[in-house]
Chains A and B, each alone.
Chain A
Amino acid sequence: DTGVSQNPRHKITKRGQNVTFRCDPISEHNRLYWYRQTLGQGPEFLTYFQNEAQLEKSRLLSDRFSAERPKGSFSTLEIQRTEQGDSAMYLCASSLTGGEYEQYFGPGTRLTVT
């Protein structure tokens, strides 16, 4: 069990550019979640997958955001035409299915949009 990994750890981009983040969950976990955390706030839910199916998207996830989890393994989160308001820490978590199971969080990708 190597834990949840996220790449890159830091990303600085100019407004209007597209960025893509990757999350590698714990291998046997079929649930994968994306959260966003801004300074001074707790993480906010963005979307989650059960295997390769994306089951829910938060209203926080505008049309510029898209997430995928091909083959139910790693996941990517893409932001198109980034805005300064997108600057945040993007967290990925994975778990087995069931609320009794712990969500294991990755270290996050810190995005700064200049």
Chain B
Amino acid sequence: AQSVTQLDSQVPVFEEAPVELRCNYSSSVSVYLFWYVQYPNQGLQLLLKYLSGSTLVESINGFEAEFNKSQTSFHLRKPSVHISDTAEYFCAVSVALRDYKLSFGAGTTVTVRA
């Protein structure tokens, strides 16, 4: 079975400062990795995903995540956050080439302050 650990439950950060959200996973097989975001009063939205190939993946709004197989991590970073990045962020994993059901971490709440 796969499991995901998000090491920080809450991350307060000032506007224009960098942020890193940590995610570690455990699995005995190859996995796909995802970050989902949930803005206040909205549903889950995919932020970015790693399937294969380049270990650094980027989103359209400035986030990036790096897959590190040896450390079984998929940390999310943004060099400069905006107030609008205030949201809950979930790391998720699915088994590659199988059922594709997602196993989620507990989430990290990012609060951006002016």
Contact = CB atoms under 8 A, between A and B. Distances in A.
Interface of A: 4, 31, 33, 35, 40-45, 48, 55-56, 91, 93, 95, 98-100, 102-103, 105-108
Interface of B: 4, 6, 9, 32, 36, 42-46, 49, 51, 90, 92, 94-107
Contacts of B45: 105
Contact of B101 (A4, A48, A98, A105): A48
A42 B97 CA distance: 23
A43 B88 CA distance: 12
A45 B102 contact: yes
Contact of B104 (A40, A44, A56, A107): A44
Contacts of B90: 42-43
Given A56-B99, A99-B97, A43 B104 contact: yes
A45 B101 contact: yes
A50 to B, nearest CB: 9
A96 to B, nearest CB: 10
Nearest to B41: A107
A56 B101 contact: yes
A98 B100 contact: yes
6 contacts: A42-B4, A42-B105, A43-B44, A102-B49, A103-B102, A105-B44
B51 A99 contact: yes
